[in-house]
Amino acid sequence: MIRKLTSLSFKHTSLALLLTGSLTAASWAAPSAHAASAGVYISDSSYFTLNQAALSSSSLQFSVSLHNGGNKTIDFNQYGVRVTDSSGHSYTAKLSEKKSASVLPGQDTSFRFYASLDEGETADQLQIDVFRWDESKADFMSHLGNLPVASAIQEGQAQVPEEIINLRTLDSTLPTDSSIAFQLGQSVRVSENGKWVMYTQLSARNLGASSVKLPTGLQVRLVDANGLKYASTVVNGSGTTFLPGESDTVTLKTPISKQMPVSGLSLEYYYLNQTEDVTLGTMNLNTSLQTTDLNTKQTYSGQQDGEKMTVQANSSKYSNQADGVHVQTIVTLSNDGDAAAAVPSFFASYQFGDAGTSVKASDNTARNEYLAPKETTTYYFNAILPTGVDPNAAQLVLWENTGSSTSSVSSTSSGTATGTTGTAGSSSAASTTGTTSGSNTGSTTGSNSGTTGQMPVAVFLLKGASEAQNGFTTAAAYKLGSKLTFTNSSVVNKNLDVSLVELHAHQNDDLGYKTAIAKYKITNNGSSTIALPELQNELIDSSGNSYTGTRQTSVTTQITPGSSYVVSYSYLLPNKKDTDDESFALNIFDDKSVSQGKVNIGTYQVALQAEEVSDTLALYPFTIKVNSDSISWLYNNGTYSYQLNLDLDVTHEDQVIVDSNFSKVEFDMIDSLGRIVGTQTASLLGTGKLVSGNQKIVVTGLKNEQVDSGVKVNMYEVIETPNGTAKRLIKQFH
């Protein structure tokens, strides 16, 4: 039905109805102005152009400019626009701003419009019909010409689904131009607390001239291919104030059933008019649901405008062990932009099967707050999956800790309309607009907190995960004393050099095992004092058995600039036959930064050092050369004693810091039956230390029966460890 409009008022955009119904192109009257490629002309110097257009699945927002090249003021109230398609259907175009209708000579003025469309319309099918109001015509319009929508469509509109919602439809207190354009981002299907959930991210752009919030009446739901509807909740962005012309992120959370098909999904925007749902628009999700393959970069969705951050799962390895399937996935965050970017707080979960089962994994490595341009940081996510789970069929969900908010949106969002103070006419136009403002009931966007505390960033498919090889077979070649190169600088400060300087086996009398002692030299090359790192490490034999290193009982906490420090680690090894392989892989790892398992930061080929028969003894950082030795015994008033006479050269070869916990030297007197008949201990530090020159090692208080001619003296390096005393035989005197 056509209703006569005596005038068009810009004062109330709800009255800015230009035409309703459906008309065919054949019924149009001949235009009274001529159209050119630049626009629709109403005179030789005055014309209309279509500046820009934004098309969504069920709406079109566009801007028409009136260029007044004449010498008289033009009243835009005398003209109107509507949207038509190639089939002749027409759609109401409503002004979405309050503005003066008077266009002065030499002035260009733009007027923004909004139209609801049937689903499926494309830009190529649409055009803007420009007309002059004419009561002599049957349809009260004298058609001037058409402006093709495709020529003004904004870049990317055809590729990315977008839905424009006129917020005034939901809240009449808002300015007339209050509209939000929701552009579809990524959707991910994740397991959360044993339930399946769909998260969908939207970019919300304020098309109006005033700051607004999302009205509480705006509701969203997910509709699957079978027509089943799942209520969505705004979990991020409900309390956001959207600035004019600016975009921000809105995240929807939708609990779904595990049987829900992942194709044929759509989002439906609606509000409740008393007991009736009123649909505002729909958005197809077919291109939104995302998973990412291993070694594939994905844009980090939580970044600020202008940032270029990406995330990538570099690799995933697993090993089947007695307690389950141990899996580790390495994820890299990269700053590909030209400015520093804040580092988010990430954790992860492994999800597998159809029941919504997941296992949490975290990386607690200390990091800088910002990433410099072209800089990266690496996360290691370890977990133990149940026995029988195929890691290749699992998924890694990367989550971000977003914090929590208790603020909620008020029931009414307010804003002040802007624009010129004049209005386009004062006559009261009759209205046939179909805008319905019913009561809003049920759950709303504003009833939720600003965030849930965590948001999914990406879902990585672990297809291609490889079984971890024995560290013994993958260890890098290593020369004793050279710098150990680590793959993760967060464990060891970049100004510290670490090297393995000694690895010897020590005997443990009558205990059924032996102890390997490794000495590490740590050097501070920086200009400030640095905390001494606690190196987590292990020795791995050719069979894959690992023997964890235990640090010496007490160590310094800091190392000063330009100095080196020696720290010892002990490893309990089984007593093997002399013919057994003494080669190992030294694996340095981090087990503090992850929730399960460990992160390998370097694996190296090492071997126990053979004890050479020599007069030069190496007890790093000392060297002891035995120039001569002899054994004698003495008798004095019924007491026997043995005396070991030594001529030594003691050299502090490497100027490194050693403390009271450093190894000592022990001399054991052993009789012909192999019994220890006396012990004397000496130090290389402090009072009574061994020095160059003649030394006398005396064992007194021997019984008569303990004295024989077969006595010998064993010289040991002795280190106190948390697992007991470890002794290494370094010299034997007869």
Residue-range domain boundaries for the chain: 39-151, 163-284, 310-401, 489-607, 616-733
What number is the average pLDDT over the span 534-563? 89
CA 653 to chain CA centroid, nearest Å: 48
| CA-closest candidate to residue 58, choices 107, 32, 91 | 91
**pLDDT (tens digit per residue) in 616-640:** 998 888 999 999 998 887 777 777 7
Which pLDDT tens digit goes with each residue over 176-195? Answer: 788 888 888 899 999 998 89
If pLDDT is split at 50, 70 and 90, which confidence band does 407 have?
Answer: very low
Reply yes or no on whether the pLDDT at 364 is more than 90. Answer: no
Mean predicted lDDT score pLDDT of the chain: 81
The answer, yes or no, to whether residue 577 has pLDDT greater than 80, is: no
Whether the pLDDT of residue 513 is over 60: the answer is yes
Domains 39-151 and 310-401 share a fold: yes
pLDDT of 167 > 80? The answer is yes
Q: Of 576 and 12, which is predicted with more confidence?
A: 576
169 three-state secondary structure: helix
* pLDDT, position 344: 92
Which range, 171-180, 347-356, 423-432, 639-648, is most confident? 347-356
Question: What is the band of 726 on the pLDDT scale with cuts at 50, 70, 90?
Answer: confident
In Å, what is the CA distance from 700 to each residue of 190, 340, 546, 680, 696? 76, 72, 44, 10, 12
What would the mean pLDDT of 555-559 be, rounded to a whole number? 89
Q: Decide: 203 and 183 in contact? Cβ < 8 Å.
A: yes
Question: Which pLDDT score is estimated for 155?
Answer: 55
CATH class of 310-401: mainly beta
**Residue 18 reports pLDDT greater than 60:** no
Name every residue whose Cβ is closer than 8 Å to that of residue 265 and which is 6 or more positions away in sequence. Answer: 187, 222, 223, 224, 225, 284, 285, 286, 288, 289
pLDDT class of 302 with cuts at 50, 70, 90: confident
C-beta of residue 60 within 8 angstroms of C-beta of residue 87: no
| Model confidence pLDDT, tens digit, residues 681-704 | 888 887 778 889 998 888 776 666
Taking residues 86-107, report their average pLDDT: 87
> When comparing pLDDT for 295 and 488, which is higher?
295
Q: What is the mean predicted confidence (pLDDT) over 456-468?
A: 93
Q: So what's the pLDDT on residue 172?
A: 87
The topology under which CATH files domain 616-733 is: Immunoglobulin-like (2.60.40)
Which of the four CATH numbers 2.40.50.100, 3.40.30.10, 2.60.40.1240, 1.10.3720.10 does domain 489-607 have? 2.60.40.1240
Q: What CATH code would you report for 39-151?
A: 2.60.40.4170
Q: Is 484 helix (H, G, I), strand (E, B) or coil?
A: coil
Fold of the CATH domain 163-284: Immunoglobulin-like (2.60.40)
Percentages (nearest 5) of helix, strand, coil residues in the chain: 5, 50, 45
pTM above 0.85, yes or no: no
Residue 467 has pLDDT above 50, yes or no: yes
H/E stretch holding 530: strand 530-531
